[in-house]
Structure 1
Amino acid sequence: MQVTSAEAGNHYEVFHTDCPARDIVDHVTSRWGVWVLISLRSNDLRFHELRDTIRGISEKMLAQTLRALVHDGLVWRNVEPTTPPHVTYGLTDFGQNIGEPLTDLFNRITQRLSPTSPE
């Protein structure tokens, strides 16, 4: 099966182990990748804000996840030269495009769940 990249006209063998698209899918669907993309859908956030938003994620895992998503072109990173540096993250157009169906999936799942009380 082939998936065609509309922008570059490239064909990718998505079931082949060295397909570059597989790495991106792995990063997006990783334990924390989905949550980072959903968290950044509505606002750009600083590192500590992301960490506080995504409960249960360690700083190490957040840093690794952000590094992978920035490398894949889904998330941008802006460093302001202050002391200490202010680092802000947001979604690129590609990240917005990928984050939209993830948010829709999350919304569909939560609509089916029984109401619960917040912690």
Structure 2
Amino acid sequence: MSGKEGYWRIEYVGRTGDSGFGLVAFDTQEVIGCDVGGGIYTGQFQIVDGGYLDFDVTFKAGEYPIELVQGKKIQAGHSFWIKGRLPRNVTEKTIIDIETEFGPIKARVQKLLSF
């Protein structure tokens, strides 16, 4: 397995009902992406159980303070961890659970393009 997966759209909703979205690339066990709030995602993933991607990434806020979907306000440049698992070959939007340093969120993911 080459680890070249593709681009994913991620839409997320927190406990407060706030939402957002981002675009993430999974390529050669590396994860890189950004979201609408100016944050940057970097990290790693591995292919597990033949059909899933386990990811472990760091989110770094952009140049302005933001409020996360969990209701937590963070300062510009602050970083925190995000972990989860998503199915590799999803062409329809699928709901997954994601764990973060500030609590869980639900995300709707969709693979947009395979490499």
TM normalised by structure 2 equals: 0.27
* Larger relative helix fraction: 1
**Structure with the greater relative contact order (CA < 8 A, sep ≥ 6): 1 or 2?**
2
* Larger relative strand fraction: 2
TM normalised by structure 1 equals: 0.26
